[in-house]
Structure 1
């Protein structure tokens, strides 16, 4: 139950490698926060976890091995957070940067498509901001997947 069947350092290396690979894949996959997951996105995340579990453990089934893997993943996450808080370049790569998706009442449809944002998401953001499309000064797709709307100033 507590005896490891593989060397402890192998579990740490496997966990760090899988963490890094998944971080890169999730980062490349787009700007969607957990709260914005569609059923398809959630299914992919669940299957990813199942798909990498054997790669993480290497056949290790002990409690000790599981705790080592969990600690390594949490440590990797803390390290990535630390690095992102100290480096703007790392933060931009890890978390992403805002993207301009509308300006002066004109929505950039090609940019929405490029970032896999549906027109319905844009319309929802406009409703939440109590703003008509023609009243938009700027709209940004934030790094976390939310859409920020800045209205044109009222004309006197």
Structure 2
């Protein structure tokens, strides 16, 4: 069994194209399984917390394809990353303080016709950034129809229009 595995998947960095191709297929299927295990949160919300999983999985699993690290050990490390993410997400659901620490907080950067300099400084966002979001979301250069602009935890600026 081990010999067949070595013939098909190779060992170390001396891989032929067929072995690397087979590793790619195996890693693709493993990644698909891990994404399903991780849940939609990791790949839907795109918060910094969730992006860490995507980056780490990509970096870790790529090492399995090119033989830079042992295949099984790399796969186990990837499973551990996903399980750690799920565990931390579960803990965040039960602890608002931990959720704020890990996920951050939203910041109201514009309301009642005024920019909130304190919130903008804390978030390192400029007036130009808010104007850009308003143009993209409303199709207008004017802030006249904007009731509020909120920097969300995922880094996107939500624009709330004034009621007519």
Q: TM-score category by the smaller chain?
A: 0.5 to 0.7
By how many angstroms is 1:85 displaced? 2.4
Alpha-carbon separation, structure 2, partners of 1:76 and 1:104: 42
- Pairwise mapping of residues 133-148 of structure 1 onto structure 2 (< 5 A)? 133-148=143-158
Q: Which residue of 1 aligns with 2:86?
A: 78
TM-score where L is the length of structure 2: 0.51
Count matched residues: 104
4+ runs of 1 displaced by more than 6 Å?
Answer: none
- State the distance in 2 between where 1:62 and 1:129 align: 47
Sort the Cα spacing of 1:33 and 1:118 in 2 relative to 1 into closer, same or farther, 3 A: farther
CA-atom RMSD in angstroms: 3.1
The alpha-carbon deviation at position 61 of structure 1 amounts to: 3.3
Shift of the alpha carbon at 1:118?
Answer: 3.6
2:135 is aligned with 1:127? yes
Q: Where does residue 38 of structure 1 map in the other structure?
A: none
In structure 2, the residue matched to 1:93 is 101
CA deviation digits over 1:11-64, x for unaligned, max 9? xxxxxxxxxxxxxxxxxxxxx957xxxxxxxxxx79xx69xxxxxxxxx93222
- Where structure 1 has 5 or more consecutive residues not aligned to the other structure, the ranges are 3-31, 35-44, 51-59
Q: Which has the larger radius of gyration?
A: 2
Q: What secondary structure sits across from 1:134 in the alignment?
A: coil
Query: Separation in 1 of the partners of 2:148 and 2:69?
Result: 52
User: Is 1:61 matched up with 2:88?
Assistant: no
The SS at the match of 2:105 is coil
**TM-score, with length taken from structure 1:** 0.54
Q: How much does 1:99 deviate? A: 0.6
Contact 2:133 2:157 in 1 (8 A): yes
Is the CA contact (8 Å cut-off) linking 1:99 and 1:140 kept in structure 2? yes
Q: How much does 1:120 deviate? A: 3.2
Greater RCO structure (CA 8 Å; 6+ sep): 1
**Native 8 Å contact 2:108 2:148 kept in 1:** yes
